[in-house]
Amino acid sequence: MGPDAVLLLPSTPTYIRNNDVEHEYRPDSDLYYLTGFREASSLAVLSTGRCEHPFVLYVRARDPARELWDGARVGVDGARGIFGADAGRNIDELDATLTDLLLDRRRLYYAIGRDRAMDDKVFAALAMARRRARKGRFAPTEIVEPSTILHEMRWSKDDAELATMQRAADISAKAFERALAVRAPGLYEYEIEAELRGCFRRMGSERPAYEPIVASGPNACTLHYVTNDRRMEDGDLLLIDAGAESGGYASDVTRTFPVNGRFSPAQRRVYEAVLRAQLAAIDAVRPGATLPEVHRVAVRSLTESMLELGLLEGSVDALIESEDYKRFYMHGTSHWLGMDVHDVGLEWIDGAPRPFAPGCVLTVEPGLYIRADDERAPAEYRGIGVRIEDDVVVTSGAPRVLTAHIPKDPSALER
């Protein structure tokens, strides 16, 4: 942060769902990353240079009457004793005390525009600090976006983080095992969703890392399908894109398999094309490689398959150049994965794609989607959507796949 700087890191605001019921509070990733603190209405303040308390944690004060309703709070003593703050403070005293923390700091790290109510408090404290800056005292003259430091720290995962991510992946693996065991024609998609969610919670996952996609038959061609209310039919494929969050970290997995336990020949050809592309793309995840490079590997392999399957005509190079392949593969191949399912960290640095380094984690998730109403496609492929997604860690050598134990070989899936 440099000398004489201060970082303000507030919790995410809570939102009313309806009447007096709130949406579930999910701790802010940055705040949780730095402090481990999970309660709402909190704010961490980190300061460099001469100051009385380098780490101040504002929390909701203990309040037996409120805690009777809402559950136990760590309180200001716990902020110090449990979370290692140099000072714990009551969040209700923020307005009265924030100015002091900004005085004699030159640079303020604060993410403007995420929470307008908090912006108002910070700007008021900043204005007050400027009024009080005299006789050798001073106020911040720079406001810096904290992600410039924090998100780069989060981009590369240490061993403890990777162990947590492996745990999230293992929970997802159990849930997919369960989905494979219970799938059957006649069930509704939400019954599979219920199995996934139940499995996550039974194994201690806090919540799904994102809304589970349980897309049977033609629904697999809707990329963000989450209504999950179709009755599955004999002969459908089922595409499940779901991942557990555990210890604050996400997993993100997609598998596609036949509802009746047997791929049709056409389904199997499409499936094997996606699997070929996915294996080639995973193999490209090496130190120094980049997201666009991994995507290019997947696109080339998929475009070759589109020709073989008779979905497109022409040459591979021309179809890639014209982007005609996007009719069947219209999304990216990868994103960073971590505390956020689409995790933070720059993708480009100084105008060039960022090279992978050991410890960064990304998904590899190619797919083929042939819409049911695509009358130019061979009839046997219409309505087939396939995606296969794994979570991959960059190491100094071969890529490490956190979700490797979830079956994806077509014969293994049938077994």
Min separation Cβ 98 and Mn ion, Å: 38
Query: By CB under 5 A, how many residues form the interface with Mn ion?
Result: 2
Tell the smallest beta-carbon distance from residue 354 to Mn ion (Å): 18
Nearer to Mn ion, 46 or 297 (CB): 297
Residue 386's φ and ψ, nearest 5 degrees, are -135, 130
- Binding of residue 403 to Mn ion (CB under 5 A): no
387 is catalytic: yes
Contact flag: residue 245 with Mn ion (CB under 5 A):
no
Catalytic entry in 369, 381, 390, 391: 369
Residue 367 pairs with which residues in a beta bridge? 387
Least distance (Å) from Mn ion to the CB of residue 334? Answer: 8
Catalytic residue among 60, 249, 387, 390: 387
**Least separation in angstroms between CB 302 and Mn ion:** 17
Give dist(CA 368, CA 101) in Å, integer: 54
How far apart, in whole angstroms, are the C-alpha atoms of residue 377 and residue 95?
63
Residue 369 annotated to the active site: yes
d(CA 128, CA 132): 6
DSSP string, 260-328: TS---HHHHHHHHHHHHHHHHHHHT--TT--HHHHHHHHHHHHHHHHHHTTS--S-HHHHHHTTGGGGT
The continuous run of DSSP H or E covering 191 comes out as helix 189-202
Indicate the residue among 268 and 331 with the shorter CB distance to Mn ion: 331
The amino acid at residue 59 is V
The answer to whether the CB of 302 falls within 8 A of the CB of 280 is: no
335 given a catalytic annotation: yes
Q: Which is nearer to Mn ion, 29 or 363 (CB)?
A: 363
What phi and psi values does residue 156 have, to the nearest 5 degrees? -100, 125
* Interface segment toward Mn ion; rule CB under 5 A; list 66-74, 157-165, 205-213, 252-260: 252-260
Spell out the residues 6+ positions from residue 45 whose beta carbon is closer than 8 angstroms to its own.
Answer: 6, 7, 8, 9, 55, 56, 57, 58, 101
Name which of residues 352 to 381 contact Mn ion (CB under 5 A): 363
Residue 330's CB is within 10 A of a number of other CB atoms, namely 11
Least separation in angstroms between residue 19's CB and Mn ion is 34
Smallest distance from Mn ion to CB 387, Å: 9
Is 267 one of the binding residues for Mn ion (CB under 5 A)? no
Q: Which of 104, 161, 193, 252 binds Mn ion (CB under 5 A)?
A: 252
172 binds Mn ion (CB under 5 A): no
Task: Identify which of residues 260 and 363 has a Cβ nearer to Mn ion in the complex.
Answer: 363
Query: Active-site residues: which are they?
Result: 20, 224, 241, 252, 331, 335, 342, 365, 369, 387, 389
Site residues (vs Mn ion, CB under 5 A): 252, 363
